[in-house]
Structures are given as C-alpha cells and as structure tokens.
C-alpha cells in the first residue's frame, strides 16, 4: 500500500481507501506509529493533556508544539507529519504565518492543523497562499471548550448542522487538504463527507468519514479513562503496570538481576586483582 508523502496526496486517497491517522508526541510513540504504517502522524495539542498534565489544551504553546514535533520527526522521517497550531497562535493571518512558519521550518512538518470554520478562512487562505498545507478541524474543537461549555458532542440541532456544513464548504474552498471532524453525530459526518471534495477524518464521528484519527493513548489503551467512541486496540496500561509490578517484585524478591543478566569478569583476571590488592 502506498502511503501519502505530501498533504496533497491525502486528497487523492478520498474514495480510494480509508486513511489511518494517529497522534504521537514523543520518539517511542512516533517510531511505533511509523512501524505500523499509518498514513499520517498528528502531533496534536492534546499533548497538553496526554504529555504535560494540563486539564485542557489551552496552555499549550508554539514552543511546546515545535519541541514535540521535532522529536516526532526524528523518529518518523518517512511519515506525513501534521502539527496542531495551539490556542491563539493563529488569531490573525500575520500571526498565523509566523507561527506556522516556525512549525514547518523547525519541525519539518508537512502540514498544520487549525480549529474553526468561517472565522478562520482569511488565515487558511493566507497560509495556503504562502505554500503551507492546512488541515481543518470542525465539530468538537477542544480549544473552544469554554465557548462550547465543556467537551460536548456538537451539531445536534438543525441550525448547528447547517453551520457545520457551511463551514466545511468554506474551508474546502479555502484550500484545506483534509478536514478532521470530531465529536459529531455519524449522519452529520456522512453528510459533510459527501458534500466536500477533501477527505474527512473522523474522531468520534462515526464510520462514514474518509478516515479515522485516534489519540495514541486511547488507541493502545494507555488512558486511565477511555472516551465512549474509542475501542482500545491494545491493553497498554494493564501490560505496562503488570511489567512494572513484576520488576518491583523481582528486585524485592532477589530474583532480578540473575547471573544471566549480569556482566562477568574472568576468574583469572579477578584472581589477578585479588593478588594485587590483598585485604
């Protein structure tokens, strides 16, 4: 299976086969994601929660994104790399260009992702005109947690569906390369998917999108709490906890390390040393 090398190639996959994206934030996660041959790695600003211990994505800075993206890029040089622009880093076209430019230049990203609809069209157009591929993100947009009044499923009223579809149309016309749809009803995601020519990538948006994206920790079962829309595909947390507990028991019980897992010096050299250092 040929994997996309550029954001433009994401467009060609629409209607061909489902796309598989996953987030990654560090070297190990990125190496695993690339080894599993995903279509794209997203350095999401969800790293604020998964890696930095914040309760929202709002405190995440451009420096944080550049730092984590550089690490991810070192581990996954052959995988399409999409990087989130954090809260307030794209509030006007000029600010967005400076910050997106840093992410593209310092982290060798292939595209940036921005949350929002009609409001951010001038920003999207400016970045695309400057040659920076942009991914859109509609529905449950975590940077708007306060406006949404919490992390709630979006587009559940007729008016909200209308606005979302119109936002999607405008983003597609502005030149985005793909559109993440988060936390919306499956029928709404299907409608958007049929309406726009760009691929839609769902997370908590049902099965009718052109692809799926999952947060790394949710995908492999590392999260303490799993969202309703996630099936963990591994039992990472149990496996790791079990490993650390077994290590602890082995050290306390004196079974680790054993001779097989120790380095040795020859009897001859040891005797030589003892003769030279009589106690």
List contacts with ligand KIV (CB under 6 A): 23, 42, 44-46, 84, 137, 180, 182, 203, 213, 215
Q: Which is nearer to ligand KIV, 22 or 75 (CB)?
A: 22
Q: How far is the CB of 250 from ligand KIV (least distance, A)?
A: 36
- Given 182, 238, 268, 269, the catalytic residue: 182
**Judging by beta carbons within 10 Å of its beta carbon (0-12, 13-18, 19+), is residue 148 exposed, middle or buried?**
middle
DSSP 261: G
Shortest spacing between CB 40 and ligand KIV, in angstroms: 11
The residues, ordered by sequence, that sit 6+ positions from 262 with a Cβ below 8 Å of its Cβ are: none
Closer of 104 and 179 to ligand KIV (Cβ):
179
As given in the structure block, the two tokens for residue 136 are 């859109």
Partners of residue 31 on adjacent β-strands = none
Q: Residue 202: exposed, middle, or buried by beta-carbon count in 10 A (0-12, 13-18, 19+)?
A: buried
Which residue do the tokens 């040393």 mark?
A: 273
Instruction: For ligand KIV, give the closer residue by CB, 46 or 69.
Output: 46
DSSP-derived 3-state class of residue 211: strand
* Least distance between ligand KIV and beta carbon 44 (Å): 2
Min separation Cβ 111 and ligand KIV, Å? 13
| Residue nearest ligand KIV, Cβ-based | 44
Given CA atoms 91, 163, 56, 71 in this order, what sign does their dihedral have?
Answer: negative
Looking at the Cβ atoms of 182 and 210, the one nearer to ligand KIV is 182
Cα angle, residue 202 at apex, residues 106 and 68 outer, rounded to 5°: 20
Catalytic (active site) residue 125: no
Catalytic positions, written as ranges: 182
């Amino acid at each position: 299976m040929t994997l996309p090398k550029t954001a433009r190639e994401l467009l060609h996959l629409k209607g061909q086969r489902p796309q598989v994206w996953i987030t990654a934030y560090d070297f190990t996660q990125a190496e695993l994601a690339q080894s599993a041959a995903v279509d794209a790695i997203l350095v999401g600003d969800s790293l604020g929660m998964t890696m930095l211990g914040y309760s929202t994505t709002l405190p995440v800075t451009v420096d944080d994104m550049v730092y984590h993206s550089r690490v991810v890029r070192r581990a996954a040089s052959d995988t399409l790399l999409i990087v989130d622009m954090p809260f307030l880093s794209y509030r006007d076209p000029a600010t967005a260009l400076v910050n997106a430019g840093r992410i593209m230049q310092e982290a060798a990203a292939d595209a940036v992702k921005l949350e929002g609809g009609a409001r951010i069209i001038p920003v999207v157009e400016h970045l695309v005109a400057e040659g920076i591929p942009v991914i859109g993100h509609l529905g449950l947009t975590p940077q708007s947690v306060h406006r949404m009044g919490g992390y709630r499923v979006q587009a559940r009223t007729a008016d909200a569906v209308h606005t979302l579809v119109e936002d999607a149309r405008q983003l597609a016309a502005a030149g985005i390369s793909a559109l993440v749809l988060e936390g919306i009803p499956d029928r709404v995601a299907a409608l958007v998917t049929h309406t726009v020519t760009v691929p839609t990538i769902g997370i908590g948006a049902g099965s009718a999108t052109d692809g799926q994206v999952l947060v790394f920790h949710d995908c492999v079962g590392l999260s303490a709490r799993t969202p309703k829309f996630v099936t963990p595909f591994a039992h990472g947390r149990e496996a790791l906890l079990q490993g650390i507990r077994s290590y602890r028991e082995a050290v306390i019980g004196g079974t680790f390390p054993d001779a097989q897992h120790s380095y040795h010096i020859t009897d001859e050299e040891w005797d030589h040393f003892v003769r030279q250092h009589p106690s």
